[in-house]
A and B are shown apart, each in its own frame.
Chain A
Amino acid sequence: MIRAQPFLRRNALGLIGLTILFVAVACALAAPYVAPYSPTSISLVARMKPPAWIEGGSLSHLLGTDNLGRDILSRVVHGARISLAVGFAAVILGALIGSTIGILAGYFGGWIDSGLSFLIDVQLSFPFTLLAIFLLATFGGGFWPVVLVLALATWVNYARVVRGKVMSVKGQDFVHAAQTVGVPTLGILRHHILPNAVSPIIVVASFSMAQAILTEAALSFLGVGVDGSNPSWGTMLNDGRSYLQSAWWLTAMPGIAIALTVLGGNLCGDWLQDRFDPRLAR
């Protein structure tokens, strides 16, 4: 018991973040079982019901209903599927692209590094949202296009962090030592460089997850995101926009879901950063 408390206190924020993400993932995975209604079933008799704790609301629709009488709770729960799937896919793709580029730039240096660093700088100087809207509006939205665009937005984060880490790792003696027994470059990269660069990748992935979910919501809100019959949090915001004055819960509920998930990702990121690099800890 004496040791349990410092552990909890030290890791409180991280545990909160993890819990939030866990709940979000659980909702996404078990959406049909958690949600009381189908997210698309329309009920014209139960339109614009406010949340249960407000005058006129009922317990049958805890978070109220929208302009077509669809249950908001069910839509938020189902919306987690799209948002999180987009987030995870974008993180994995972005991490793959970014880490590869970061490792190549950091390890080989020279003109490879100059070229790739230039690419990173170009990417960073682009107004990204504008580019994303342009690309999606031109080539059409949908799940994979959005994931691709988000990966394009986040790979720089990985590339920069990994490049720096690799540059510090490659100068260490154990890399030379592996070279002295004739380990080929690919083996050096895979077994000696990459494993030592994993911790910053995980930290960035955690932050990028939050960033991707937020950007996906923004894109969907602007009408260039993941379309289709299944709601994402961003499309719900967009749908509820016209009713901001009369029915705030249409936008507030998905908004809260986005805010919480992003908070969860960022808390996890902070926590992991502190764990992996205690020198940065406050």
Chain B
Amino acid sequence: MTQAVLDIENLSVTFRRGGVPVRAVRDVSLRMAPGEVVGLVGESGSGKSVAMMSAMRLLDEKRAEIAAKRLDVDGRPVGGLGRRGLEALRGPVVSYIFQDPATALNPLLTVGWQIGEGLRRHRGLSREAARREAVALLAKVGVPAPERRVRQFPHQLSGGMRQRVMIAMALSLAPKLLIADEPTTALDVTVQAEIVRLVQGIQAAEGMAMVWVTHDLALLARLARRIVVMYAGRIVEDAPADRLYAAPAHPYTAGLLASTSRLDVAFADQKPIPGSPPDPALDPVSCAFAPRCFRASERCRAERPELLAHGGRRRVACFHPLAEAEP
């Protein structure tokens, strides 16, 4: 069996804020094979970003408490890593693309400097060599005139260009796992498609594993082979993309699909999910989605459904799944 690039078992992240613990991620288990592309979907506050950030230990651990039976990236237990271990992990093994490139780049350093920072650190490149490498990376992410751009500061670049710089930075050390945290949310719609196509092309060419975090199911249709849906800190469905779109098993996934904007469905016919996500400070023993669910029964309000296999390659946390289990 091949070594999983990401292996999370029973991950929980709790934020302590003035005494009331907020459980942002609850009991999440996720295994990814090398080269696999996973789309991680959920509403704001569903814990998708927090789960991914904890895999890189990017959270402020004075406030966030991370507990997991297993939290391995490329076979290394991330939880026990010290400062040096983390530095060695971040970059060559796993890297991260942030949502807003306007804030994710240091305004006082040239983009070339920032792209080359990891290269100088990990590969011991000289400033000049790192700069040449940065030019090559900028060319790869489709920035025109990279020789000139490499010497410019972030404010001299457009939003789309800045996100390309961010991507070049994340790719600089050829990571085995790339986490893209809503990388197109802060961009113009026209630029979004370009960035998606770019990342898709690079992923296909380099074959690294990728997690694309988003709240936009429609976007993932062309990106991911496997989609993981999170609700209130838990994974509620994990399925191959084609099956998930054709026949969602969890009522929440169905609700997400029904509320997604589509050109072939009139706006009036789109059905938003009634109600709103639960308070993350609460810790219900029931299914967290039950109050909003049209299929909820007494059992759903009394007991929590576990995330269980539902046919081959699909996992669902629901007592009354919509789709039949397929082999």
* A positions within 8 Å CB-CB of B: 109-110, 172-174, 176-185, 187, 191-192, 195-196
Contacts and interface: CB of A to CB of B under 8 A. Distances in A.
A176 B170 contact: no
A109 B117 contact: no
Contacts of A185: 83
Given A181-B169, A196-B106, 17 more contacts: A173-B98, A173-B104, A174-B106, A176-B104, A178-B114, A179-B58, A180-B58, A181-B91, A182-B86, A182-B87, A182-B88, A182-B121, A183-B118, A184-B87, A192-B106, A192-B109, A195-B108
A223 to B, nearest CB: 47
B118 A181 contact: yes
Given A172-B103, A174-B105, A174-B106, A180 B121 contact: no
A172 B98 CA distance: 11
Interface in B29-45: none
Interface in B120-153: 121-122
15 contacts: A110-B62, A172-B103, A173-B98, A174-B103, A174-B104, A179-B90, A180-B96, A181-B117, A181-B122, A182-B88, A182-B89, A183-B121, A184-B87, A195-B106, A195-B108
Contact of A180 (B90, B100, B103, B106): B90
Nearest to A195: B108
Interface in B134-187: 166, 169-170, 172-173
Interface of B: 56, 58, 62, 83, 86-92, 95-96, 98, 100, 103-109, 114, 117-118, 121-122, 166, 169-170, 172-173
Contacts of B105: 174, 177
A181 B103 contact: no
B121 A184 contact: yes
A178 B106 contact: yes
A173 B98 CA distance: 8
A181 B88 contact: no
A173 B117 contact: no
Contacts of A183: 87, 117-118, 121
B118 A182 contact: yes
Contacts of A177: 96, 98, 104-105, 114, 166, 169
A179 B87 CA distance: 8
Majority secondary structure, A binding face: helix
Nearest to B113: A191
B58 A178 contact: no
Contacts of A173: 98, 100, 103-104
A185 B82 CA distance: 12
Nearest to A196: B108
A218 B86 CA distance: 53
A185 B121 CA distance: 12
Nearest to B105: A174
A187 B117 contact: yes
Contacts of B118: 181-183
A191 B106 contact: yes
Contacts of B107: 174, 196
A179 B83 CA distance: 11
Contacts of A178: 106, 114, 117
B100 to A, nearest CB: 7
A178 B117 CA distance: 8
A21 to B, nearest CB: 26
Contact of A181 (B83, B95, B106): B95
A173 B118 CA distance: 16
Contacts of A184: 83, 87, 121
A14 to B, nearest CB: 23
B183 to A, nearest CB: 12
Among A183, A184, A187, A195, find the residue whose CB has the most chain B CB atoms closer than 10 A. A183
Contact of A182 (B98, B103, B104, B122): B122
A181 B90 contact: yes
B91 to A, nearest CB: 4
B106 A182 contact: no
Nearest to A185: B83
Nearest to A170: B60
B320 to A, nearest CB: 41
Contacts of B103: 172-174
B254 to A, nearest CB: 34
A109 to B, nearest CB: 6
Given A177-B169, A192-B106, A196-B108, A182 B58 contact: no
Nearest to B173: A181
A230 B254 CA distance: 87
A187 B89 CA distance: 16
Contacts of B58: 176, 179-180
A182 B117 CA distance: 9
A178 B106 CA distance: 9
Contacts of B122: 181-182
User: Considering the complex of A and B, which 6 residue pairs feature the smallest CB-CB distances, nearest first?
Assistant: A181-B118, A182-B91, A173-B104, A180-B96, A182-B90, A181-B91
Among B89, B117, B121, find the residue whose CB has the most chain A CB atoms closer than 10 A. B117
